[in-house]
Structure 1
Amino acid sequence: MRAMLTAVAALVLAGCNQQVAEAPDLILHGGTIYTGLDRLPPVEAVSVKGGRIVATGTSADLLKTAGSATEKVDLAGTYLYPGFTDAHAHLYGIGERETSLDLDEVKSIAELVSIVGEAAKTLPAGQMLFGRGWIETHWPEARFPTRQDLDAVVSDRPVVLERADGHAMVANTAALKAAGIDGKPKSQPQGGRIEVDASGLPTGMLIDNAMGALAVLQTAPSEAQIDATYEKGAAREISLGWTGVHSMSVAGSHVPRINELSDAGKLNLRIYNAIDGSDFDKGVFGETADKMVTTKAVKLYMDGALGSRGALLNEPYSDRPDTSGLMIAQEEPTLALMKKAYDQNIQVCFHAIGDKGNELVLDWMQRTFDAAADKAVADKRWRIEHAQILRLEDIVRFHQMKVIPSMQPSHAIGDLYFAESRVGPRRLLGGYAWRSLIDAGAMIAGGSDAPVEQGDPRIEFYAAVARKDLEGKSGPQWHPEQAATREEALKMFTIWPAYASFREADLGTIERGKLADFTGFSGDIMQISDAEILKVEPTITVVNGKVVYKRPAPAA
């Protein structure tokens, strides 16, 4: 049997390696190239013409096809993979993170307060201070920050600090007053929560839709600022090895800017946009002529995040029995929008984290499918973004309904520190259930949710296969049996995101005729130890047959 497989592989490779009529534009050689094709061994070289792959094979054979104008790139031992796609990120937010107060590394409320106080000193008088990225789950104070914490260092200007998950903010008293929400709330916003203290006054914490009250404090960015932000975000993505991104909750007004920037060659990233649901009727669906930017999806929200207790649960939170989370979506208007999306062939990307949130989304999708005249032949590929806490009986529904779970492995290795306290051990049996979903037949589109997480493909791949934190720690409640294999993890960031964006005929594997998107790392992530995955370096990123990033040579 082994001899037969070897013979078949040799025939396939020989067919791929036949000489082409014209010299290729680019030959990448001298590496180990994982094609992503099942049961086929790595190759040494790949050649590209017109942005598409024309051959794979040995370096010696492919270099013979080079012409005088062919660019030859010696991989010098680099390990090359099909282009990694971040199937859930916020490209604008990634760019914003590069220019705003980054609180990702803050380790306590005391440190947060100190950083905020120093940052305020650098701003003009009265200018609002905005920061993002804090998360309190490891802080010694073991609580959310409050307006009083911020008031102690900054009281003369609004301060707004967004939690890492993007589903909660803390504001100082000046910000609450400016937004008109500093007194006892008469009611709570639909799909949101203004946290209050024992006297009924706001603590400064605003959850999900309650954050909208602070929108009046923000000034709209200029077109130049929007462009610069997207350029910064794209530059970071390709420097990490991402060749594509499924950008979520994109403002409809930004889509023409993204298209123009891409056409001008300023992004060098393959972008699949899911616009915010409120912008559905703005007429921005479509794609650029070269298909580098596609806008074919809409992003909806069922609930909030687990960390800020906004994820919608069937039963109350284990560590706060007075709440079961928040239901952001309203049934009647959301079902109407879903029908409109179905009829116009627009993909629905529905945020759901809690078990009740996921159950409702699956139910509403099923109702939409059942009411459709073409349900027997439709290929809609609707998605649930995050799908973090599932009822065990809902796991099989993803494959049965042809719904794609779009999941971010780094969420698991961060959330599992506190997830058991939020939902208890029983509900955690369906938490971050990659193994169970894959075994049930689902294809997981893997992403990072940057800037909520770091947005690093090495961390995401590691988290998927190791299911441990970045120091290698885990525990029984982390359910290590839910980890993915190396081969499955590669698919989670290559061919499965391609399928999730209707591009599997063009992307996701390295084979003749497909688009030349490649990700290169300094190490063999298919073979090295789990811990070593985090230490490899991005070496080369190729998009559409163009080298868009190369690791700088070490300083002499």
Structure 2
Amino acid sequence: MTRAFLAVAFAALALPASAQDLLIRGGTIHTGVDGAAPAEMVIARGGRIAYVGPSAGAPSTEGLEVVELNGATLFPGFTDGHAHLDGIGWRELTLNLEGSASVVDAMSRLTAWAEANLEGVIIGRGWIETRWPESASGARFLTAADLDAAAPGRIVLLQRADGHATVASTAAMQQLGITAETQAPFGGEILKGPDGQPTGMFIDAAEQLLAPLMPQADPEATRSAYRAGFQVEARYGWTGIHSMSVPWRDVPLLEAMAEAGEAPVRVYNSVTPDGATELFQTGPRSVADGRVITRAVKFYADGALGSRGAALHAPYSDAPETSGLMQVTREQQVPLYEQALRAGIQLATHAIGDRGNTEVAAWYAEALGNVPPSERPNGEDVRWRIEHAQILRPSDYRWFHELPIIASMQPSHAIGDFHFAPARLGDARLDGAYAWHSLVDRGVIVVGGSDAPVERGDPLIEFYAAVARRDLEGFQGPDWRPQEAVDRATALKMFTLWPAYASFRENELGTIEVGKRADFTAFNIDLMTVPEADIPRGRAVLTVVDGEVVYRAD
């Protein structure tokens, strides 16, 4: 990947050397503490909360920087419990196909990008075919022929929005030596046409075959992507991100950025399996006063629902020839899970389909049974997670409560997926689909995230999806189990206190209480009272991390 690939330059968001002493006032302040009334002001000193409460009787405010909310509403710092920081940045630097309305629209964007960027590999992401007019049958993926016509002779890789499928141009496949005889690795599939030739679509593990052409091999480009990602997160109001599938090679880079003041929001890393062995040996890592923490390993158990890679117990209702793809086996995973227990490392395993979730829960139970608490640095307190927990059999809810397992879920998936999930699953399996309320009712910690860049990554869209369970046009299918929506107090926990718990920091983050870190997010709307339909129309106006204002709206 050449430096010319970086068409947009992003300056680092530098942080001052020390935290500011702040007084924040002039709007409603929701502390996130159960039963607590809204506060009138909050004082931060040395990056910690020194006072929260009414103006009357407050300690001296002399010498404090005053931040006026001007009627905005302040909350504990919002944390994205599942996203991909590098991917968010790459979305800013590469061809963005989000919202493309058809094959024609997507390919016209590709043509325009190719004409504006005459050299190098073309990388893009964000297309999804489920609502395209060419995809009335739900079967019209992009093909190499589409890419070849839009950008003749160019090496092009366009990843589907969910990140679990990529379409490659003919030139890309030729560059990599991929032919009709190329075999997909375990857990992946190379789609082929009636003539036996690859169509250009690579599903799940087969995407690994395209890795040599991806830009992540360029360290300078990767640093620029992270800088761009940090800017996006701060602007949306996120004070922290649980960054998933972080390449092990990127951990020292992120740590160096934090030490250099280039990490304006908190990062809690779950690394890719290639880093598991070393992390098991070194144990959790933390730098820059906890600005970047690496404590978890992210594994993939199955694929995604949209590309029919999610592993189901029974065949897909709209594709009875397949039940999805498991990415790993019990024999592979249980020994790794046992090593994680003995090393004090958290697990975060991707599971979307009902079979994927059943398998992972059973593997967790087996590993926990094989390693007694006396042999674990964290004893009983392991806080293992399943990422997505998207389609469950109701009979499997018990695993999350009994083991227990943290359910790391992304509300916006539900409001996008209901346009195709009923066809994929059939009505009966919807009983356990995106079942936030059912899990919360059983005492399960449900961490809210966005999975950006799979989704837009706006906390207001995520909050809205959790409480409204409707798409952004207000539509809710008649069979979409509206009872699985949650109340606003629960939704607030999903993006504040519960991500803090899931990163072992509930004593420092997640509520506005004296002694905790001074992390705050302010929106121009009050999420607790504004009409549901107005929630996604709001915007962040202030982001504060450790008492530092890292974003303020003009």
- What is the correspondence of 1:155-554 to structure 2 with a 5 Å cutoff? 155-185=152-182, 187-218=183-214, 220-283=216-279, 285-374=284-373, 377-552=379-554
Q: Deviations over 1:140-175 (max 9, x none)?
A: 000111111222222312111000000001112111
Q: Would you say the 8 A contact 1:30–1:59 is kept in 2?
A: no
Distance 2:293 2:416 in 1: 31
Q: CA deviation at 1:117?
A: 1.9
Alignment match, 2:12: none
Q: Is 1:130 matched up with 2:127?
A: no
Q: Which residue of 2 aligns with 1:66?
A: 61
Q: Does the 8 A contact of 2:123 with 2:214 survive in 1?
A: no
Measured against aligned partners, the alpha-carbon deviations of 1:316-364 in whole angstroms (never above 9, x if no partner) come to 1111111100010132222221111111010000000000000000000
- Asked if the contact 2:422/2:430 (under 8 Å) is kept, the reply is yes
- Deviation at 1:223? 3.1
Q: How does 1:118-157 map to 2 (within 5 A)?
A: 118-125=112-119, 127-142=120-135, 143-157=140-154
The residue type paired with residue 158 of structure 2 is L
- 1:443-487 per-residue CA deviation (whole Å, 9 max, x = no partner) reads 101000001100000000000000000011112221111001000
Contact between 2:23 and 2:42, CA under 8 Å: does it hold in 1? yes
Alignment check: 8 A CA contact 2:85 2:229 kept? yes
Structure 2 counterpart SS, 1:512: coil
What's the CA shift for 1:202?
1.2
Take 2:251 and 2:484, find their aligned partners in 1: how far apart are those partners? 37
SS in 2 for 1:477: coil
Matched AA of 1:313: L
Amino acid at match of 1:159: V
Is residue 301–residue 349 contact of structure 2 (8 Å, CA) maintained in 1?
A: yes
Contact 1:33 1:42 in 2 (8 A): yes
Q: Partners in 1 of 2:69 and 2:170 — Cα distance?
A: 56
Match of 1:8 in 2: none
Amino acid across the alignment from 1:35: T
Match 1:113 to one of 107, 114, 119: 107
- State the AA in 1 paired with 2:444: A
Change (3 A) 1:145 1:220: closer
- Decide whether the 8 Å contact of 2:496 with 2:511 is kept in 1: yes
Q: 8 Å contact 1:158–1:172 — kept in the other structure? A: yes
Instruction: Give the match's secondary structure for 2:383.
Output: coil
Q: Deviations over 1:503-549 (max 9, x none)?
A: 00011111111111001011111011111111222111110111111
* Residues 172 and 367 (structure 1), Cα distance of their counterparts in 2 relative to 1, 3 Å cut: same
Q: Whole-Å Cα distance in 1 between the matches of residues 116 and 34 of structure 2?
A: 55
CA apart distance, 1:235: 1.0
Distance 2:296 2:324 in 1: 26
Identity of aligned residues (%): 50
> Structure 1 counterpart of 2:47, which letter?
G
* C-alpha distance in 2 between matches for 1:40 and 1:154: 58
- What amino acid maps onto 1:474 in structure 2? Q
Greater shift, 290-299 or 372-381, is seen at: 372-381
Q: SS at the partner of 2:373?
A: coil
Partners of 2:57 and 2:221 in 1: how far apart?
48
The Cα of 1:289 is off from its aligned counterpart by: 4.2
After superposition, the C-alpha distances for 1:198-247 in whole angstroms (9 at most, x for unaligned) are 22221111100111111222355443322221111011101111000000
Deviation, structure 1 residue 61? 3.7
Secondary structure of 2:93's aligned partner:
coil
- Give the distance between the partners of 1:522 and 1:289, measured in 2 at CA: 31
Counterpart CA distance in 2 for 1:107 and 1:289 is 44
Computed over aligned residues only, the root mean square deviation of the Cα atoms, in angstroms, reads: 1.5
* C-alpha distance in structure 2 between counterparts of 1:163 and 1:236, whole Å: 21
Once the 2 structures are TM-superposed, how far is the Cα of residue 268 of structure 1 from its aligned partner?
Answer: 1.1
**Quick one: higher RCO (CA 8 Å, sep 6+), 1 or 2?**
2
Output the CA distance in 2 between the equivalents of 1:218 and 1:451.
16
Change (3 A) 1:434 1:322: same
Give the distance between the partners of 1:77 and 1:218, measured in 2 at CA. Answer: 45
Whether the aligned pair in 1 keeps the contact of 2:29 and 2:38 (CA below 8 Å) is yes
Contact 2:465 2:471 in 1 (8 A): yes
Cα separation, 1, equivalents of 2:195 and 2:243? 41
Measure, in 1, the Cα distance between the counterparts of 2:161 and 2:105. 16
Contact 1:318 1:423 in 2 (8 A): yes
8 Å contact from structure 1 (residues 396, 437) kept in 2: no
SS of the aligned residue for 1:325 comes to coil
CA distance in structure 2 between the partners assigned to 1:228 and 1:116 by the alignment: 22
Is the CA contact (8 Å cut-off) linking 1:155 and 1:172 kept in structure 2? no
Residue of structure 2 in register with 1:48 after alignment: 44
- Contact 1:184–1:200, Cα closer than 8 Å, also in 2: no
Question: Shift of the alpha carbon at 1:78?
Answer: 1.3
Indicate which of 74, 91, 105 corresponds to 1:80: 74
Q: How far apart are 1:281 and its partner, in Å?
A: 2.4
Letter in 2 for 1:145: L
Farther-moved stretch of structure 1 (172-181 vs 116-125):
116-125
Q: Are the counterparts in 2 of residues 276 and 299 from structure 1 also a CA contact under 8 Å?
A: yes
The 8 Å contact of residues 215 and 221 in structure 2, kept in 1 or not, is answered as no
The alpha-carbon distance between structure 1 residues 25 and 218, as it changes in their structure 2 partners (threshold 3 A), is: closer
Q: Which sections of structure 2, spanning at least 5 residues, go unmatched? A: 1-19
Residue 412 (structure 1) shift: 0.4
Asked if 2 retains the 8 angstrom alpha-carbon contact of 1:313 and 1:325, the reply is: yes
